[in-house]
Amino acid sequence: MMQLAHAADVTVVGGGLAGVTAAVSAARNGAKVALINNRGVLGGNSSSEIRVWVVGATAHGAQKFARETGLMGELFAENQWRNPEGNPILWDHVVLDLVRAEPNITLFLNTEVREVEADGEEHDRVIRSVTGWQSGSEKLITFESPIFLDCTGDGLVGLLAGARFATGREDRGAYGEEWAPEVADDDMLGSTILFYTKDTGHPVRFVPPGITKDIEAFDLPLRRHIDPGMNGCDYWWIEWGGELDAVADNERIRDELWGIVFGIWDHIKNSGRFEADNLTLEWVGSLPGKREYRRFLGDHVLTQQDITGQTRFPDAVGFGGWSIDLHPPGGIYADDSPSKHLFGPGLYDIPFRCLYSANVRNLLLAGRDISASHVAFGSTRVMATCAVVGEAAGAGAALAVRRGVTPREITASHMDELQSMLLRQDASLLGVPWQDPSDLALKAVVTASSTLTRLAGGADGEPEPFPIGEADFGLLLPADPRIDVVRIGVDAARATTATVELWGTGGGLNHIPVEPLARREVPVEAGRGLLEARFDDVPPGGGEVVVVVRRNADLAVLAGAGRPPYGVLGLLSREPALDTGKPQSNAWSAFELRRRTPRFEVEPATAAYRPEQVAGGPARPYDGPNLWVSEGGGEQHVELRWSEERTIGRVELIFNDDVDEDLINLHHHRTPYLVPPELVKDYRIEVERTGGRETALSVTGNRMRRRVHVLDPATRAGALRVVVTATNGDERTMIVAVRVFET
C-alpha cells in the first residue's frame, strides 16, 4: 500500500455529470483540478453501470428553446455525432473524453473518499483535506486544495465536513409550498434498477433466480404498463426505498429491486401473455440509481414558488425547466400514480447562493445535493440540470481561487465576473447581458451580406391541414418591433368565424401564451385561404408574442414541410390551457409542428434577425431569437468594422445548433440527423488591413456550436468578416455571436 498526497487548486469529489462539468469548467478557467470518482466510469446515474437517460430543461420537448448549452450542450452534441443509437458504453467514453481532453485535470477513478479533515466553529467550518482509497492500485491519497466541491450525490463530503443539510420532506409551513405535505417526514424519492433485453433470433427459456418476486401477487401488471418491447428507462417506475434510508439500506434496496426486475421478466417470459420466446436478458443493473438523499443548505433554499413563479435572481448562474416531478415514497408498491408533475410557464433561474454551503466556507455543491427544498429538488435533480449547476460551481471555484475569496464573497463582490465567465463559455444562463468590455465586437459597426426581414412561411408545396377542433393553435412570433397584421393559412369546412387572439409570453423565460393582449373575431369563407387578423392598434411591447386561433371544429391550419424562420413555432394546446388561469408550458405542444412551417405572413417587416445582434445580447432565444439570419443561401457573411485598426488575437464564435431540439444520450428517441442542419459547416475568417482583405483561417466540416480561434501571430485589422460558405443543411446562414479579443 502507498500513501500519497495530491495538491490542486480545486478538488471535485464525485464523477457524475455535475462533477464532470464542475471539473472541466474549473480547469478551462485556469484551475488545477483533482477529479475523484468512486467508480471506474464517469457519468454517475447516466453511466453504463446504471443507464438513466440524461434529461433536463427541455422536459422531453415540453419546454421550448430550452436545451442546455455550455458543457452539457457539448456532451449532447458529441454524443449525437458519435453515438446516435444511444449505446451506454459509448456514452461513457464521450464523457471520459471530455475530461481527458483537459490538461488541468488529474483524474482519480475507483477512489472512494471516506475521510474529511475540517475544523472551525459550527457556523464557520473549513475543509483542509479529503482522503480517498483507490482500491485497484491500493493507494491511500490525501487531497489538499483551497476549494472543494461535493458532487457525490449523497453528500458524504459535506456530511463529514459538518455542513448543514436536510433530508426527507419539509412540512408545508416550512417554505409555504403547496406541494409539501402537511406534516414533515423522512420520506424521499426511491431508487431504481433498470434492465435491457435483446432478440436472439431463436427461443430462449428463462429460469427465475431465487430472488425473483411474484409481481402478480401485488397486482403490479394491473397498475403498470409492461411490454416486451420496453427497455432501460422505459421502466423508470421500478422504484423502491423511499421510506428507507437510501444509504444505510442500500443493500436491501438493491435486493428488492433485483427481485422486482426478475419478477417483471418472469412475467414477460413465462406468463404466456406476451410474444417473447426469442427475447433474453442482455443486462441488469447491479447499482441502485438513487434519486434523493442529503440536500445541503446554502444562503438560499430554492422552493416551489421560485420555480413556478420564476423568481429572477441577481446571482443567477443557470436555469432548469424539468417539471417538479415527485414520486410516492412507497414506489412500486404504492397505489398512487408513479409520479406527479407540476409545470410553470417556462424556465426558471438557479442562483449561485444555492451552490455553496452556508457554514463551510470553502465547500461548493453541485448535482442533486444543492440547496433546495424537497419539492424544488423534484425539478433540479435531473442530470442535465445537475450538469448546468456543475459548470457554474466549477467556474465559481476557479474564480474563488483566482481572487483568493470564498464562494460567499463571490456573491457579494464578484458576481458580474462570474456571470461573464459563464456567458463567455456559452453556459446555460438566461437574461444576463453580455457586456465584457474586453470584447472588441461591442465597439464595432456590424453589417451583413443580407438579412432576413420577412416573417412568412409555408407558401411552397402542398400544405397539410392540421384540424383544430380539439386544440387551440398558437403561432409564436418575434415582435420586433411590432406585429400589426397576421395572416394564417386555413382550410374551412364551411363558412365560420374564427376567434383570433394576441398574447404576450410574460418574458424571455417563456415561449407560450401567458398574458392576453387583444382579441379579434374574423369571418372565414369556406375552402382554403388566408385568415387575416389586424393588431395594429395594440401597443408594441417587443419580445415575443403568440397569435392564437381558438379551437374551431370547422377549421384546420395549413402547414408544409421545412422549418419556419428561426424563433417561430407552431403550437397546439393539449387542453383548454388558456382558460385555466395557470399557464403551463407542457399544455402547449410543439411536437406536431416542429420542423414544419405553418402557412403564415406577418406585417410589418421584422428586425428580429439584424446582424448587430452577433455583438452582445443573449446568445440564445430570450424575448426573441437573438441571432443574425441571412435572407437567402449561398455564400454569406457578417462583418465587424472599427474606426481604426485593432489588434485581434482571438475570435470566439457561437453558431446556431437549434436549442429547441430535444437531444438525449440514450434511447428515448432518435433525431433524424447527426449534426443540426442550422449549424454552420464551412466558414473562413477574413481580416482587412491597409493592404486589403486576407483570409486568416478556414474551417470545413464544423459540427460544434462554439468555436474558439487564436490568430497566431496576433493581427492588426480594421475589419473582420466571418464568411460562411456552407451550412449542415439549412437554406439560410445563422450566427449567434462573434466575440473578438486582443489576446
pLDDT band at 712 (very low <50, low <70, confident <90, very high): confident
Contacts of 729 (CB under 8 A, 6+ apart): 673, 677, 678
Instruction: Give the mean pLDDT of 610-627.
Output: 96
Give the span between the Cα atoms of 93 and 97, in whole angstroms.
6
Give the span between the Cα atoms of 36 and 38, in whole angstroms.
7
pLDDT at 392 over 80: yes
Instruction: Give the mean pLDDT of 83-90.
Output: 96
Give the span between the Cα atoms of 71 and 386, in whole angstroms.
11
Is 164 in contact with 359 (CB distance < 8 Å)? yes
pLDDT of residue 668: 83
Measured torsion, CA atoms of residues 614, 617, 619, 622, in degrees rounded to the nearest 10: -130
pLDDT band at 459 (very low <50, low <70, confident <90, very high): confident
Phi, then psi, of 544 in degrees rounded to 5: -125, 155
Is 124 in contact with 43 (CB distance < 8 Å)? no
pLDDT of residue 673: 92
pLDDT tens profile 537-579: 998 888 999 999 999 999 999 998 888 999 999 999 977 778 8
Window from 199-208, 502-511, 712-721 with minimum mean pLDDT: 712-721
Angle, CA of 408, 304 and 233, to the nearest 5°: 100
pLDDT tens profile 583-608: 999 999 999 998 889 999 999 999 99
Instruction: Give the mean pLDDT of 693-717.
Output: 95
Give the span between the Cα atoms of 396 and 390, in whole angstroms.
10
DSSP state of 91: H
What percentage of the chain carries pLDDT values higher than 70?
100
Tell me how far CA of residue 323 lies from CA of 94, 295, 385, 601, 729, in angstroms. 27, 19, 12, 34, 33
pLDDT tens profile 29-85: 999 999 999 999 999 999 999 999 999 999 999 999 999 999 999 999 999 999 999
Bridge-partner residues for 71, per DSSP?
none
Instruction: Give the mean pLDDT of 342-368.
Output: 98
pTM score, whole prediction? 0.97
pLDDT tens profile 5-37: 999 999 999 999 999 999 999 999 999 999 999
Report CA Rg, the chain. Answer: 27
Residue owning grid cell 427465475: 208
Quote the mean pLDDT of the chain. 96
pLDDT tens profile 219-268: 999 899 999 999 999 999 999 999 999 999 999 999 999 999 999 999 99
Q: What is the largest CA-CA distance in the chain?
A: 86
Angle, CA of 181, 182 and 187, to the nearest 5°: 40
Instruction: Give the mean pLDDT of 638-663.
Output: 97
Measured torsion, CA atoms of residues 543, 572, 591, 461, in degrees rounded to the nearest 10: -90
* Polymer length of the chain: 743
Give the span between the Cα atoms of 164 and 366, in whole angstroms.
15
